[in-house]
């Protein structure tokens, strides 16, 4: 996966792109692949970063689904470049409408975070709009379709925003997704959390573990030791 990873691994500059890349790395690090996992789905796969990371850790079949044409073709190109057609596949489709041939053992996603209140206030970049705002996929639609396509006792991982946690718990419970683990992510040790990592199990029963918080920076533009390790493992 040399062609793909080298273009992504070192893109953590202090730019508009950092939030996306950091989200992806943090989610990839948090995912634990269940024993005997055979089929994995990445919802909103983009150019396929998470699929390629998982392909280094498992022999399971990995599928991506992407609604944006440009990002879909980027994922296809990366699969071709890295000779992963036997393990990886990507669908150009709307997650709400696509009918899969099987249920999945594991579903992962870095979804749109933000509700849409006023279209006039949103970015004019359509790709960014769809990736970051609930224009084509709301939280309710996401979790409903995750549950529909996840096996009994299947695992689900995502990264989101702490201010949506109550919504996430309520909606996940409605669709039989029991949240089992959460980890709050803070930019600095003295700043409020701005992201949260979540693991849920379909029909998973009660009980939740709150992992110790992850601090990203110990000084301006200087990652903590744990964050350096996480980036190095990606």
Average pLDDT taken over every residue of the chain: 86
Share of the chain above pLDDT 90, in %: 74
Mean pLDDT, residues 57-64: 97
Dist CA 202 CA 165 (whole Å):
18
Q: Is the pLDDT score of 7 beyond 70?
A: no
Summarised one tens digit per residue, pLDDT across range 95-108 is 999 999 999 999 99
CA dihedral 177, 181, 182, 183 (to 10 degrees): -150
Counted domains in the chain? 1
pLDDT tens for 82-140 read 999 999 999 999 999 999 999 999 999 999 765 665 554 455 555 555 456 455 689 99
Spatial separation of the C-alpha atoms in residues 63 and 88, rounded to whole Å: 6
Question: How confident is the model at residue 3, as a pLDDT?
Answer: 43
Domain assignment of residue 19, given as a range: 2-233
Question: pTM value?
Answer: 0.86
φ/ψ (deg, to 5) at 230? -60, -45
What is the distance between the alpha carbons of residues 184 and 209, in angstroms, rounded to a whole number? 12
Crossing angle of helices 18-30 and 225-233, in 10° steps, is: 80
Q: How far apart are CA 187 and CA 194, in angstroms?
A: 7
CATH of the domain at 175: 3.40.50.150
Q: Give the pLDDT score at 123.
A: 52
């Amino acid at each position: 996966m040399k062609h793909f990873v080298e273009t992504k691994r070192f893109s953590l500059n202090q730019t508009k792109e950092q939030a996306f890349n950091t989200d992806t790395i943090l989610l990839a690090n948090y995912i634990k692949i269940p024993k005997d996992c055979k089929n994995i789905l990445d919802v909103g796969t983009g150019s396929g970063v998470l699929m390629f990371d998982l392909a280094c850790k498992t022999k399971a079949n990995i599928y991506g689904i992407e609604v944006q044409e440009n990002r879909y073709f980027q994922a296809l190109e990366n699969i071709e470049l890295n000779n992963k057609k036997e393990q990886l596949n990507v669908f150009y489709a709307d997650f709400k409408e696509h009918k899969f041939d099987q249920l999945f053992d594991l579903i992962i996603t870095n979804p749109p975070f933000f509700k849409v209140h006023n279209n006039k206030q949103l970015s004019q970049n359509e790709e960014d709009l769809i990736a970051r705002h609930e224009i084509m996929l709301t939280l309710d639609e996401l979790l409903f379709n995750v549950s529909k396509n996840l096996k009994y006792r299947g695992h689900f991982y995502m990264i989101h925003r702490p201010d949506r946690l109550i919504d996430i718990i309520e909606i996940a419970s409605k669709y039989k997704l029991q949240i089992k683990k959460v980890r709050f992510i803070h930019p600095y040790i003295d700043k409020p959390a701005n992201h949260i990592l979540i693991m849920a199990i379909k029909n998973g029963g009660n009980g939740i573990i709150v992992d110790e918080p992850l601090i990203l920076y110990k000084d301006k533009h200087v990652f903590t030791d744990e964050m350096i390790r996480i980036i190095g493992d990606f």
